[in-house]
Every structure is written in C-alpha cells, then in structure tokens.
Amino acid sequence: MRVTMPGIEVADHVFTVPLDHADPGGRTIRVFAREIRDPAVTGDLPWALFLQGGPGGKSPRPTGPGHWRHLLRTHRVLLLDQRGTGRSTPVSATGTAEELAAYLRHFRADAIVDDCEHIRKALGVEKWETWGQSYGGFITLTYLSRAPEGLRACHITGGLPGLDATADDVYARTYERVRAKIRRHYERYPGDEEAARRIAEHLAGEEVLLPDGDRLTVERFRTLGMKLGMGDGHERLHWQLTEAWDGDRLADTFLYDVMTETGFVGNPLYAVLHEPIYAQGAATRWAAERLLPEDFGAFGMFTGEMIYPWMFDAIRSLRPFKGAAELLAAAGDWPPLYDPDRLAANEVPVAAVVYHDDMYVDAGLSLETAGRVGNLRVWVTSEFEHDGFRVAADRIVPRLMRMVIDPR
C-alpha cells in the first residue's frame, strides 16, 4: 500500500522470514517495514534503515516529515517493525513455558540483523546505511559483527553497548545514574520528594486498584522514574505527582496514567527480553533485582529502566510470560552478539553520539566500545538526554552524516 501524507510518501512492505535463520525451511514469521520518502525529491535515492530502540519497540509511526526531514532530502528511509513488534507477527504467550522461552530466544539482535539482511536482499539493495537509536545501536554493533558487507555507513544515537558488559555490569552502573537523576529532580522540584513519599505511604497501607484490576503497589509506583532519562521526563513526573490526588484518594486520571505507562500492554517483549539482550554465554539471573541498592527501598525513591521478577506476578499483560521469563533469566548458553576482532578491524564508517548524562546507556561503557571499534568517530555531548534524536534531529542528523563523510 502506498499513501501520501503532508510532506512524505509512505509505502508498506511485508516480508516472510524464517523464525530461525539457521533453519530456513522451518517455521516462518512476518516482518513489516514502512518506507518513507519526500515526494519532492526524485531519482533513485539510497536507502537508510532505521533501527528503533527497545528491545521490543515498534518503529515510529510517521505523521509528516518530522525529525526525518533532513535525512529525507537525500535518502529513502525504511522504518522496521523489528520481529515481534508493531505489524510484524505478534508475540503471544501460548504453549508451555519451555516452548515460549525457546521461541523468544529468536528475538534478540542476532535474529533482527538476519531479518535486515533478508530484507535488504529482497529489496535489491546492494548496501544501505543504518540509523540506530538506543537499542538500535546495539543491533548496529551486532550487524557490523555479522554482516558488514551489507552496510555503507552506520549512525548511532545513544546506543553504543559495552561489548563484554554483563547485565550485572550494566545495572551496577545504571543504579548510580538513576540515583543522580532522582537527586537532580528533587533539587529542581523540592516539593516532589514529600509528594512521592505521601503516595508511597498510602499505597503501602491501602489496597489501590488500577482500572484494569491490577493492584498499584509501591514497587510499581516507583517505576515511574523510568522517564527521568528523557528530555521532558522531570516535568512529566512533576505534573503526575502534583495532580495525583482527588481529596484523600488517588485520582482516577492518575491511576489511568500509571496503568498505561507501566502496563507493557503493547510491548511485553521489552520486559521479557530486557536482561537477555546483555547475555553472552552467562545467565543474567535477574541482575536488576539482585543489585537493587538498599536505599532504593525508601518511599521517596524511584527506579529506572529495570525489569524485576515481581512484575510477572503483578502486571496483567506480563503474567502469561512468567514461566518463560524465569527460564530465560536462568539460561546460561546465550551465543555472543558481538565479534570484538571483527569490530576492531571494521572498515564501515560509523558515527555515534554519546549523551554524557544518559540514564539508560552508560557513557563510560560507550566510550570504551568506541575505542575498540575501527573506523568509528564519536561525539560526546551533555546538551541532550537519551531522546536527543527525537527532539533535536535537525542538529544531530546533519552532524552525524558529516562525521561519516569527512574522516578528519
């Protein structure tokens, strides 16, 4: 299907790919991608593949040129719904826990890269460029490890992973950054610490149900801190806290917002695969839960981008995945996602922006990786938060494009 929106032309593509690319004659799934281009720009434009953050996030739905405007002057862009997301074959919690866990092992970056190569060849593209946001940057490093011959250049925004970092390594650093964000939030909005404590104390003493029937626990309330790594996250949390009450009860609008923000209804893969994306040869064993600092139990504290085993009991959309999630957390036979030797010898031009204060992707690990990947140039900035690509594409996109063209 091809449609025209203000400033862009949109075409849908659907591809049938093997669930397991090592077994091309076996079970297949559907992968959806949406092509966008500027109708005013003619000619046979090169392709740019956008790799969305996540894991388990569908690609952005375009309503106009938006933050693609600069890129569309020179490229046609393919917005990929990574396997299991958006209009690609959805993931459903069917079968036994063992069957579901075995199925979900095929939804990490290695399988996504194999899908990309299948799609590139199906479209007749000799080589394409990639833009990887957050987890999309992780996928990019896997792409460079597995199939660099399909890549002309790569651009990464807030997504250089630690090549050898375990889930324990990641969360030991992450909690420190979350603590710093919470401290900064209370400095900006001094009344919010008491507001958060009042809500937590209320939830500890009363049974409060969300509109879908789930109980709102203190632990689930704390997960609202996840947004503190975004450019507008402090303001969004502030208004939630200041508008939380209706007399002596929590307001219906507050409860609805919490339900939708923390319910994983449209993205269970984010929770199920969040720690396995760091697993290479060792089990994660619920790293975020094991490394949870004692002070995060205080009523005024929030958590960040962490997934905990209690979620698979307390959150309606995740309960069917509980058994599979436990098996994935215990699995110790994960294959490697990155090839350090191949990355060191990389010849594909790579430009990456690292956000100095990124709450989700540790800048220290990112810079260590930047020093280990050949032909990679890095721009470190404290000007943007993790969503810099979305809010400041007009500045980030041109700079990264220049970085891969001019190696000086």
* Catalytically annotated residues: 134, 333, 386
E-strand ranges in 158-271 read 245-246, 249-250
Distance between CA atoms of residues 320 and 326, nearest Å: 12
Distance between CA atoms of residues 107 and 105, nearest Å: 6
Distance between CA atoms of residues 306 and 287, nearest Å: 9
Query: Does residue 55 have a cis peptide bond before it, meaning omega lies within 30 degrees of 0?
Result: yes
Q: Is 359 helix (H, G, I), strand (E, B) or coil?
A: coil
Between β-strands 28-37 and 350-355, what pairing exists: parallel, antiparallel or unpaired? unpaired
Whether residue 266 contacts residue 260, with contact meaning beta carbons closer than 8 Å, is answered with: no
Q: What is the DSSP letter of 98?
A: H
Whether residue 372 contacts residue 343, with contact meaning beta carbons closer than 8 Å, is answered with: yes
Closest CA to 230 of 358, 62, 132: 358
Helix axes 192-205, 233-242, angle to 10 degrees: 60
